[in-house]
Amino acid sequence: MGGAALVVVLGLVLGGCTQPEPDPERAGTVVVAVGSAFGSLNAGTTLGRTPGSTLVRSLAQSGFVSVDEVGAAVFDESFGTVEKVADSPLTVRYTISPTALWSDGVPVTPDDLVLEWAARSGLYDDVTPEIDASGEVTNGDALDAGVAFAATSPALVHVPAVPIVEGTSVTLVYDVPVADWEVALDVNVPAHVLGATVLGIDDPAEAAAAVSAAILGEDKGALRSLSLAWRTGLTAELLAEDATAAVTTGPYVVDRVVGEERVDLVRNESYEGARPAAFDRVVLRTALHPLDQVTALRDDEVDVIAPTDTADVLDALEDVEDVTTRSGGDATLQLQLQVAGGGPFDPATYDGDAAKAAAVRKAFLATVPRDAVVSSVAEPLWADAAPADALLPAAGANVGEVDVPEADVADAERALADAGVPTPVVVRVLTDTADPVRLGVLDLVTEQAAEAGFAVRRYEQADGMVADLRGAPSAWDVALLPVPQSDLGAAATAARWRTQGSTNVTGWTSPETDAAVDALTAMVDPEARTDAFDAVAATLADGAAVLSLVRQPVVVATRDADPEDEGRLPQLEPVPPLALSRADLTSWWDWARTDA
C-alpha cells in the first residue's frame, strides 16, 4: 500500500466528530489545559517539534534517552542502553531491553532504529525541501513524488554507513566526532506499522524486516511510499480520523484527537518500563482562552492549567479557592544584534571598521537595564525572576553563562563619542509587541538607550516577523526573541553562531567563535562539554553579539487535593511550572507516572 493510500485508510476508520467533555465523576482521569495544540507524533518533523506535540509525545513515547531542563541526557535503562564503544571513529551501540514494547504489544526491534537512521541521515532522500522566508515548504508535490523523509539530522548525517545489527543491538559508526551522540537516535515511527500499512505485510516481525530490507536494498519504489507515510502519517489531522494509528512506547497512548481542541491519552496496557501510568486517562484541552482555563479550574472541569502568564490571569487565579500556583521561567529572552544588514552594528556601515562597529554594539548593550527588566516586567509575574546570564539557552537554561556588567549609560555615551559615531544612532527592534513581557522590555530599553544617544524604534515589517528575521536583515538591527531549547544542543549552537550557519539570522562571523564552535561540536565527552559551551559563549560576549535578559515567566495552577472528592476527582500534588520551550517534556510528566 502506498503512502497516499495510507492517508485514505487513516480517514476511513473513525469520524472526526467533536467528543464530549470529561465526565464530572472522573477519579481516574486528569484534565490538563494548555495553550499549545498537538500537531504530530513524529519527532522528526517540524510539526512534531511544536510545543504541543512535544508535550503529548513526552507522555506517549518512551525511548533510550530524554533531555532534561539543563540539556543533559537522561537514560531509561528499562528501555535499553546507549554505550559509546569507541572514540575513533566514534562508535555508539544501542541495546534494546526485553521490556521495550510498542503499545500494540509488539517488541521494539533494531528495524525501528534502522528506519529512524534512514529517515534522519538524509542518505536516501532524492528530493530536499525548498523553504521560503516564512519557513513554508514550496515544493510539496516534488517531495510527495520522490523519496523524501525530509528530516535530516545534523548528527545522523554523519553516520554514512548502514547501522550494524547484532541480535537486539544496533551500532552506529560516525565519520566525524559528534558532540550530541547521546541523544542523536531513538525510536520514533514503528517500523512494523509502516510495513503493514505501506507494504501490506500483516505479520509484525515480517513487516518490520521488510522495511529494513527496502532500506538496505535501496528499493526506490518502496522508499518513496515509506518516506511519504513516515513524513505525513502521524499528524493530528489524520489521528483525529483514526487514533489506532498512534502506536507508541510510553506509559500512555493516544486514544482520541479532536482537532486543535483536545487530545485524550489512556493507560498503555502493554507498557513494561520503569515509569508506568499513574492514571487511567489524561486529557489535554488545548483550545481554552487563558481566562477560560481559570474558570474551568474553578469549576472542577480541569485539574491543571498552564495559561499565558499575565497580570489578568494571576489576578483571576487569586480569586479561585483551593488551588496552588507555581511560577517559573520558560525560554530565555535575548537581544540578538544584526551585524550584516548595513545598520549601526555592521562594520560595513563604517567602511569596514570592525572595531568601530563593535564599540557601537557594546555601547548599546551597556544601556540595557536588565535589573529593571527583571523588577518591572518579570517579577510581577514570577517572584523569583532573575537576570539570565546564559548565552546559549538552546542547549539548556544555564548553558554558556557569562559575567554581564551592570548597565552604564554614561559609559555607553562616552564610548559612542570616543568612536566618533554621531548621535542619535537609530536602532530598529524586531519583536512581538503583542506579548506584554516583550513590550515591557522594549519600552525600558527604548527609554534608557535614549539617554546614551540611541533612538530605539520598532522596525517596519516587510513580509512578516518570521520571514523578516530570516530574510530581511536590512530591515532590523536588533531582534528581541525567546530562545527555545534544542534536542541537539551542540548542533543548534553551531547552526546559530558559526559563520553562515543555517540559522545564523544576524550574520555573526568571528574566527574565535568558529574555532570554539568547532571544538564544541567535536567534543564527545559529556563531562567536557560544559567548558566547550562556555568557550563559545565567551566569544559572543567579547564581540557584543547577544545579551540574555530574563526567562519568560510561566505559571501553572493545580486544583488542591481534597479527600472528600477522592472517589469523584483525581488527587494531585501541585505540579511544577510547564516550560513549553523545552525540547523534551518527559520529566515534567513525572507526576503522571509512578514507579514500577
**C-alpha cell of residue 422:** 554621531
CATH number at residue 371: 3.10.105.10
3-state secondary structure of 458: strand
- What span, in angstroms and rounded, lies between the C-alpha atoms of 461 and 24? 48
Angle at 518 (CA atoms; ends 516, 522), nearest 5 degrees: 120
**pLDDT category, 25, cuts 50, 70, 90?**
low
**pLDDT category, 413, cuts 50, 70, 90?**
very high
In a domain, 265, yes or no: no
- What span, in angstroms and rounded, lies between the C-alpha atoms of 317 and 349? 51
| Residue spans of beta strands (DSSP E) within 77-203 | 80-87, 90-96, 164-166, 169-173
**Single-letter amino acid, residue 283:** V
Name the H helices within 257-408: 290-298, 311-318, 354-366, 370-372
Q: How confident is the model at residue 16, as a pLDDT? A: 35
In a domain, 128, yes or no: no
- What span, in angstroms and rounded, lies between the C-alpha atoms of 421 and 349? 11
In a domain, 425, yes or no: yes
3-state secondary structure of 313: helix
Q: Is residue 12 scored above 70 in pLDDT?
A: no
Q: Which of 169, 225, 220, 176 is nearest to 197 (CA)?
A: 225
**pLDDT category, 442, cuts 50, 70, 90?**
very high
Q: How confident is the model at residue 21, as a pLDDT? A: 54
- What span, in angstroms and rounded, lies between the C-alpha atoms of 123 and 474? 36
| Average pLDDT, rounded, for the chain | 94
In a domain, 415, yes or no: yes
SS (H, E, C) 165-204: EECCEEEEECCCCCCCHHHCCCCCCCHHHHHHHHHCCCCH
In a domain, 272, yes or no: no
Expressed as residue numbers, the domain containing 360 is 330-553
Q: How far is C-alpha 78 from the chain's CA centre?
A: 25
Domain count, the chain: 1
**Under a CB-based contact definition with an 8 Å cutoff, are residues 264 and 56 in contact?**
no
In a domain, 201, yes or no: no
3-state secondary structure of 276: coil
Strand 252-258 and strand 262-267: pairing? antiparallel
Q: What is the mean pLDDT of residues 289-299?
A: 97
Q: Is residue 596 scored above 90 in pLDDT?
A: no
Which residue shows C-alpha cell 541521515?
Answer: 121
Query: How crowded is residue 339: how many other Cβ atoms within 10 Å of its Cβ?
Result: 26
3-state secondary structure of 48: helix
* Torsion sign over Cα 253, 256, 261, 265: negative
**pLDDT category, 36, cuts 50, 70, 90?**
very high
Q: How confident is the model at residue 134, as a pLDDT? A: 67
Tell me the per-residue pLDDT of 366-392, one tens digit each, with 9 for 90 and over. 999 999 999 999 999 999 999 999 999
Q: How confident is the model at residue 547, as a pLDDT? A: 98
Beta bridge partners of 323: 559
**C-alpha cell of residue 260:** 486543535
Cis-peptide into 51, omega within 30 deg: no
In a domain, 478, yes or no: yes
Q: Which are the contacts of 71, defined by CB distance < 8 A and separation ≥ 6?
A: 395, 396, 397, 399, 485, 489
**Under a CB-based contact definition with an 8 Å cutoff, are residues 71 and 157 in contact?**
no
**C-alpha cell of residue 485:** 531549547
Q: How confident is the model at residue 144, as a pLDDT? A: 87
Q: How confident is the model at residue 14, as a pLDDT? A: 29
Q: How confident is the model at residue 4, as a pLDDT? A: 36
In a domain, 184, yes or no: no
